[in-house]
Amino acid sequence: MRKALVFALLVSLFGWSEGSGAASAPLKAQAYSAVVEAQLLRMERANPSRILSLYQRILEALPVPQAYIDTAHLFLEEGDLNSAVEILEKGADRFPQSFTLHFLLGEIYGSMGKRNLALLHLNKALELSPKDERVYQSLIGFYVEESNYNAANALLEKWQRAAPHSCSLYLTWAKVYMAMGLYSQALEKLQRAQGENPQNPEVLKYMGQLYELKGESEKAIGAYKNLLQISPGLIGIMDRLGQLYIKSKKYPLALKLYETLLQQHPGHPQIVAKVVSILMAMGEKEKALRILDSALRINKRERFFFMKGIILEDMGRKEEALKVFQGVIKDGRPHEPSFYIQIAGIYAEKGEKEEALDVLRKGIVLKPDAAELYRAMATLYSDMGEKAKALANAAYAVVLKPQDPACLFSLGALLERQGRWKKGEKFLKRALKLDPQNPVILNYLGYMYIDRGVKIEEGIQLVKKALKMKPDSPYYLDSLAWGFFKKGQVREALKIQRKALKLIKREKKKNAIMLGHLGAMYMALGMREKAKATYTEALKYINSKELTPWERKEIISSAKALGLSLP
């Protein structure tokens, strides 16, 4: 084997002939011998000081471009960029027509952030080799990074004149257009690249990404499927394809894809999570549990236990879920806050509020900096009617995480529900500023403005933003309908409210607030009998903890005005 390596190295020495004509035969022989020894030592990763001394001898005996390049690579392997640059600069001074020396200098200066020196050497490399794709790509990368798209496009046109049938040219051009947000032009260039090389995996990858950016899921799916036919087993692409299937609600196809990945990578946390989430979306909860049990036999990860508990809880098997969560925290060591929160939630639903508080307190002792535990404590105290304790815990969560939107939202919502909406507004607005695309915060703040009758139009606009992200949310539709009602557009409000109630019915839920809003709309339109029937239904859920005191008061007052009495 060693003989074969030596032979391969001797063959590669022909590359050292560039610029070596002036050296005498004995010096060449010494240099070649030193090259072989140095390369063998590098392959064996042995004796760095000996390798360096050998390269110094090589540079003295045979100062050719390759000697400077190999010596620079030695320094690069050690992470010594400055020494590598110094050697390459000496080589470029001695051999100004060496493309490789200038190209390497350009790349290294670029990685060091020395833009002007990088451009100087890359342009020199391009002058020496006007068709080299690597140089074009590096130069264009610089221009795109600084958003100098005019310079990038000018260089692309020059590249096209030099190599009109280059697949890399059109692929790079497409990337530039994508960076500019010009998706139609990018697609045109990708199609041209595909015409030059139909089997190029990178072209298909970017085509899939481009179709995703354009919102054309089916075409993106087609591109990724074609790519996987050429290069099967690309996990990242399989995942992208799976996510598109999920987005398109093609759950059986997504399941088949991720189950294939799971067979290749048993117990892989991310893949297990994907398979379980798809099965849950398909309503196959028992199968999801079996997947998790199989994963737990391979790897007893906390995340798998947590998912199992959540599914059992969703299936109404609260006691089994409780045992799963308690099984994780029974060792008395700190665990993820979500375990304590879920256990507390189950106890709270059973009406065992003190047990719930006790679990959260244990969690806080073990994880005193976990803001989410204080938020959970605040919610629990609020449900128990202990307003001061609820606010104290929510406020401390904000102290721990002052830039956390969830903590700010929790405190703002508590203040609003306790009637201090002006103060709550400040925290809600801070939360929204930190997380401007959060539909929950958008809807809550919007509904607050609408319900309070203070900034109705602004509230409607906030709710509309939330609906763009979740167009079928019955709660957001209810907020929007209430906004139109407050503006006096009652018939438009009624139309939206009926849609909201139709959606909530699918979830097999009843909502006193939504029913109260519907009753108010019927009353405003003079539909007294319908209003009466609606308020009768709303009164059945009048003790719901979702109702604020003023919402409860409004429903009772309207019901009494219709001659109804409390159940």
Average of per-residue pLDDT across 408-427: 94
Is the pLDDT at 70 greater than 60, yes or no? yes
Kindly state whether residue 260 falls inside one of the protein's structural domains. no
- Per the structure, the count of domains in the chain is 3
Among 2-16, 69-83, 166-180, 540-554, top mean pLDDT goes to 166-180
Question: Quick one: angle between helices 183-196 and 201-213, nearest 10?
Answer: 160
Kindly state whether residue 498 falls inside one of the protein's structural domains. yes
Q: Cα separation of 384 and 551, whole Å?
A: 18
Is the pLDDT at 169 greater than 60, yes or no? yes
Q: Are residues 449 and 564 in the same domain?
A: no
Residue where a domain terminates, one of 102, 129, 156: 129
pLDDT on residue 512 = 86
pLDDT on residue 546 = 74
Q: Cα separation of 396 and 415, whole Å?
A: 14
Q: Residue 89 sits in which domain range? A: 1-129
- Show Cβ contacts of residue 202 under 8 Å, excluding neighbours closer than 6 positions: 171
Q: Cα separation of 124 and 218, whole Å?
A: 45
Q: Are residues 550 and 497 in the same domain?
A: no
Q: Are residues 9 and 52 in the same domain?
A: yes
Kindly state whether residue 470 falls inside one of the protein's structural domains. yes
pLDDT on residue 37 = 62
The pLDDT tens digits for 493-537 are: 999 999 999 998 876 677 888 999 999 999 999 999 999 999 898
pLDDT on residue 540 = 87
pLDDT on residue 371 = 96
Q: Are residues 498 and 534 in the same domain?
A: no
329-333, long-range: CB < 8 A, 24+ apart = 329/362, 332/366, 333/366
Q: Are residues 535 and 497 in the same domain?
A: no
Kindly state whether residue 426 falls inside one of the protein's structural domains. no
- Residue whose tokens read 């490399």: 125
Q: Are residues 492 and 560 in the same domain?
A: no
Average of per-residue pLDDT across 408-423: 94
Q: Are residues 551 and 453 in the same domain?
A: no
Is the pLDDT at 16 greater than 50, yes or no? no
Average of per-residue pLDDT across 311-315: 94
Q: Are residues 553 and 475 in the same domain?
A: no
Is the pLDDT at 55 greater than 70, yes or no? no
pLDDT on residue 23 = 47
Kindly state whether residue 467 falls inside one of the protein's structural domains. yes
Q: Are residues 88 and 120 in the same domain?
A: yes
pLDDT on residue 60 = 66
Q: Cα separation of 327 and 321, whole Å?
A: 10
- Show Cβ contacts of residue 201 under 8 Å, excluding neighbours closer than 6 positions: 227, 230, 231, 234
* CATH code for the domain in which residue 459 is found: 1.25.40.10
